[in-house]
Amino acid sequence: MDDDCLTARMISSGIPLNEPHLRARLSRLAKIERTKLRGGKLPISDSFYLMGTADPTGVLESNEVCVILDNGQISGRVLVYRNPGLHFGDVHVMKARYVEELADVVGDAKYGIFFSTKGPRSAATEIANGDFDGDMYWVSINRKVGFQMIFLKVTLWKEESILIVRFHIGWNLKWIFLYGLGRS
């Protein structure tokens, strides 16, 4: 919509915000952002959509993942989610760790998440019934993000149930409607 940054250029040029063309462009940009939010596209810094697969080395434990970004493998706490998250268990806080054996397997490849295959169910299966065939997972390494999930039974524009995740980013609270469940 705004690949040429025309909206930003109009604002920085001093065009009043109530000018009809500028107002229409801003309205359309806001609508696009709302659509992304409803689809689970969460605009949080240090967050990525990564392709998931099984750990071929068998080194990772059941609560561990190996996340590879542009600078290589990372370590620490990560938040992992997969669309469409319909259940509280579809958002996992996991431990990302460096796996030396994976360096030989992946070479210079970037942007992926490897899940453990240990335990009664793999973490990928627990997250929205995912599997290891290249599903995309939302991964956040933002240290300021904490989360609390709330499941509401409401009727709102023919959506019977809504899964809401409240993200705490610093002191700001952001309510994100991740997915509407069931249509009447």
Domains of the chain, by residue range, sit at: 3-39, 47-142, 150-179
CATH among 3.30.9.10, 1.10.4160.10, 3.30.1330.40, 2.40.40.20 for 47-142? 2.40.40.20
pLDDT at residue 1 is higher than 80: no
Q: CA angle, 59 as apex, 58 and 60 as ends, to 5°?
A: 100
* Model confidence pLDDT, tens digit, residues 49-98: 899 999 999 999 988 999 999 989 999 988 888 877 666 667 788 899 99
DSSP classification of residue 3: T
**Residue predicted with more confidence, 132 or 75:** 75
Average the pLDDT over 4-26 and give the result: 86
Q: What is the pTM of this model?
A: 0.60
pLDDT at residue 141 is higher than 90: no
Average the pLDDT over 146-151 and give the result: 47
